[in-house]
Chain A
Amino acid sequence: MKTATIAVMLSIVVFLGTGCGVEREIVDDLSLVTAVGYDAVEGNKVKGTIAVPNFQADKAVTTEIFSDTSMLLRENNFKLNAEANRPLAVGKLEVILFNEELARKGLQKLKDVFVRDPSLGSRVRLGIVEGSTTEVLTREYWDDDSGMYLSDMFEQNIDRGTIPETNLHLFTYNLYSKGADPFLPFLSVTDMVKIDGIALFDDERYVGRLPYEQTFTFNSLIGDFQNAIFPVYRGDKKSASVSNIRSDRKIQYNGKGNHTELVINVHIKGIIREYRGGKITKKVIKKIENTMEKQMKQQAEDILNKLQELNIDPLGLGNEYHSEHRNFNWKKWEDMYPNIKITPKIDVKIMEYGIRR
């Protein structure tokens, strides 16, 4: 009896083992999309460009490019499928780019296709491109395909503290958050494609950007980052480069209600990497610290003025304020934000100065 049951079960298993109705997908038979770019074109349409790496026998990778226009992004994918020799799969997507013009119109509707698809990772990097994304994707990047290259470029810049951490998850987080606005790295195209500052968003719309020089200070206002370089200018003989080992941000609230004053305390621990003036003494260190504090404070004030003028909050101050105050009202905060007094307080401590005196 028992053996009979087992036999029956086994035969059922073998019989069913033939498929379960699952569609077979073999990696070699797919075009794995690594980067997509979207440009605004006339009307309501979007021009989509897709980069697919093509691995050559000599280990080099070339990028295949497909491009077409349509209103919906999936429709675009569908159209591009007609051009591709293998079905396009987005499971390995690393980078999503939007051009400036499209971002100005708003990304809320566009990002839907990416957060709805279960096969897409949450760590996909996003970026805003000056000009056309097609140009960024069609460029040759030595032996790399464009998706991989751009993704590595974003990653190492985030590790090195040039830009704050951004990815699809954080972008959607800030997009939905009532007390924060999203920001993305801004790419510009010259001889090279380079990260050229930070694109600022008012909710879903791109409204302005911070220049590359201000990213260090912007990062320090956002929170903790490391390894970035800040140039301290004190004339030809005394200038220095300082890299930060640690940085943290604390927010302090003075006063109540409409008279609230926000103080952003930034503490930076740094190392001198370069000094023009020869021997470094205690006095020199003190002076470099002071100049750096002054320069950063100036930049921080510029940044904060710009943010308040645009009425955007990429620093997430609203969320911070919300977490510290009971009986909080978002409406009141929104009225308050453009006029609230925000003072940056920068404190720089130089810990080491390399292997030379």
Chain B
Amino acid sequence: MGKPISDSMKISPFLVLFLITSVQVGVGILSFQSKVVEHASYDAWISVIIAGIGVHIIIWIAFKMLRQDQDIFDIQKELFGKYLGGLFGFIQCLYFLVLSTIALRLYIEIIQVWMFPHISILYLGIFFLILVYYVINGGFRVVVGICFLGTVIPIYLLFTLIFPLEFAHFHNLLPVLNHSVKDLMLSSKEMTLSFLGFSTLFIFFPFIKHPKKAHKWAHFGVLFTIVVYVAISMVAFVFYDEEQIKTVIWPTLGMWKIIEMPFVERFEYIGISSWALVILPNMTLTLWASTRGMKRLFRFNQRKTVIVFLIIVLIANVLINGHERISLLSEYISRVGFYMVYFYIPFLFIVYTIYNKVRKSK
């Protein structure tokens, strides 16, 4: 176990809601619909709920498995020893680093395609990363503050979902449950990238003041994300035709195109700009988790690792170019995340439970 964290560094239990939500809602929400309909077509909103239930289960496992002031690195060290446990921890750190990188790259891609094709990734990246550095440098409580703002302020964007309903074809959603369970499950697997990132919970767990009280807030956070995702997918499904949505790369942004207000001809420009506030907490929390892991594993100074990692993120962002490569990377990382969250963590839970039982009986 690491050095216990002093109470002044910890956060109130209810803030876990914002941490979970802000890390789950990211760039994925702008584009997930066209991927999720591939198998279950317009029953896919059920798949979104199924994927959400999966997240609930993992959250339940997290709170069952971790004791106060304990994180996943402690458990891995206890179970697999210093080296193997450390290796697993290191993989997780890398995973969060890549997750953070891809979040920024996907966002910059949207800016490139929708707003400024000539924009320089380097300059935009430096701007963004200075902000990220500033936030992480302020410590975990500042990261939480940004997550709070990043959830609360963009909430107004939910109201924009009303506008596309002008062209709604509600019968698209009928008949409900017209697909096999297998199709629904395959579609919910496609959902994972959008829900990823919440496994940072396993790292920031010791920072929660009363973990027992935080349990329900974590579930509320996931619930809120599911509601948002289901709402957005349903609006997209009634707005687009099934064959049409498959041809659209960013269905949510496409829906914003239909919004016309007296003071703004194209709403998506406002939407994309506001989205910076959603990406920021997303990036900071995953990057914080990554550097925190390095500190726990190798006792590196977190402030220094942040700088190194930010430079890595920047270089990676400049190097990954073109839609195909970006989506390939995000596909890979979502696959890794899928196995990490839905196979490795339950496995860890089972092993840990058996280990505890055996130890107790001795």
Write the residues of chain A forming the contact surface with B, with a CB cutoff of 8 angstroms: 9, 12-13, 16, 19-23, 91-92, 115, 118-119, 121-123, 169-170, 172-178, 180, 316, 319-320, 322-326
Contacts and interface: CB of A to CB of B under 8 A. Distances in A.
Interface residues of B, number: 35
A172 B244 contact: yes
B257 interface: yes
B240 A326 contact: no
Contacts of A122: 254, 257-258
7 closest A-B pairs by beta carbon, nearest first, are: A21-B120, A323-B171, A323-B174, A176-B244, A176-B243, A177-B241, A122-B257
B344 interface: no
A329 to B, nearest CB: 12
Contacts of A322: 171
Nearest to B174: A323
Contacts of B130: 9, 12-13
7 contacts: A23-B116, A23-B117, A23-B118, A91-B265, A121-B266, A122-B254, A122-B257
A118 B30 CA distance: 15
B321 interface: no
Given A319-B171, A324-B175, A169 B258 contact: yes
Contacts of A320: 171
A177 B240 CA distance: 9
B241 A173 contact: yes
Contacts of A13: 127, 130
Interface in B221-244: 240-244
Q: Which of A13, A172, A323 has the most CB of B within 10 A?
A: A323
Contacts, number: 85
Contacts of B115: 118
B54 to A, nearest CB: 27
B113 interface: yes
Nearest to A21: B120
Nearest to A177: B241
Contacts of A170: 167
A38 to B, nearest CB: 22
B257 A16 contact: no
B120 A325 contact: no
A222 to B, nearest CB: 12
B125 to A, nearest CB: 10
A205 B118 CA distance: 37
Interface of B: 113-120, 123-124, 126-127, 130, 134, 167, 169, 171-175, 178, 240-244, 247, 254, 257-258, 260, 265-266, 268
Given A16-B126, A23-B116, A326-B178, A173 B240 contact: yes
B126 A12 contact: yes
Contacts of A174: 241
A324 B174 contact: yes
A191 to B, nearest CB: 33
Contacts of A326: 175, 178
Nearest to B169: A319
B271 to A, nearest CB: 12
Nearest to B124: A20
Given A121-B258, A173-B240, 17 more contacts: A9-B130, A20-B119, A20-B127, A21-B120, A22-B119, A118-B114, A118-B115, A121-B266, A169-B258, A172-B244, A173-B167, A173-B244, A177-B241, A178-B242, A178-B243, A316-B169, A323-B174
A169 B115 CA distance: 20
B244 A21 contact: no
Contacts of A324: 174-175
A16 B241 CA distance: 43
A18 B24 CA distance: 34
Given A20-B119, A92-B265, A176-B247, A323 B172 contact: yes
B172 A22 contact: no
A180 B240 CA distance: 13
A123 B260 contact: yes
A325 B175 contact: yes
Contacts of B120: 20-21
A325 B174 CA distance: 9
